[in-house]
């Protein structure tokens, strides 16, 4: 069974920088996993932030960026705002047939 692992929780100060990671039980995450990143706030549907590792939507704030880092996918928030407090999920794509979500990272801005 393929498992995608994220940090359960992270805390960052307003204005700070934080990196969330997404690891695969099958080995290094590559561009071929077409990593997606989602933000979910309480009572809301998930919102796509990053697609295919590092691509932003028109609505994605500039402070969010996606990359590959040390065999993992990464989501970096630079200049964190209070409204960035949320749950963040990554999703990996395997062999064109399987998608797996990570368990989510609860980001606290404190």
Partner 1 sequence: QVQLQQWGAGLLKPSETLSLTCAVYGGSFSGYYWSWIRQPPGKGLEWIGEVTHTGSTNYNPSLESRVTVSVDTSKRQFSLNLRSVTAADTALYYCARSYTNWGQGTLVTVSS
Residue ranges in contact with partner 1 by CB under 8 A: 1, 36, 38, 40, 45-48, 51, 57, 89, 91, 96-104
The structure tokens listed for 42 are: 């309480």
Distance between CA atoms of 32 and 19, rounded to whole angstroms? 21
CB of 22 to partner 1, least distance (A): 13
Between 98 and 110, CB nearer to partner 1: 98
CB of 53 to partner 1, least distance (A): 14
CB of 32 to partner 1, least distance (A): 16
Between 13 and 108, CB nearer to partner 1: 108
Between 51 and 67, CB nearer to partner 1: 51
Distance between CA atoms of 97 and 1, rounded to whole angstroms? 14
Determine the longest span between alpha carbons in the chain, in angstroms. Answer: 39
Going 109 to 65 to 20 to 5, the CA torsion angle's sign is positive
CB of 13 to partner 1, least distance (A): 26
Distance between CA atoms of 60 and 37, rounded to whole angstroms? 11
């Amino acid at each position: 069974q393929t498992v995608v692992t994220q940090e359960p929780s992270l805390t960052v100060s307003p204005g700070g920088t934080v990196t969330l990671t997404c690891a695969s039980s099958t080995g290094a995450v590559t561009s071929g996993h077409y990593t997606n990143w989602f933000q979910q706030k309480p009572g809301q549907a998930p919102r796509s932030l990053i697609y295919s590792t590092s691509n932003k939507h028109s609505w994605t704030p500039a402070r969010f960026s996606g990359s590959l880092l040390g065999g993992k996918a990464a989501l970096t928030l630079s200049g964190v705002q209070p409204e960035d407090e949320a749950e963040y999920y990554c999703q990996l794509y395997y062999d064109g047939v399987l998608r797996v979500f990570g368990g989510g990272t609860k980001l606290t801005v404190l």
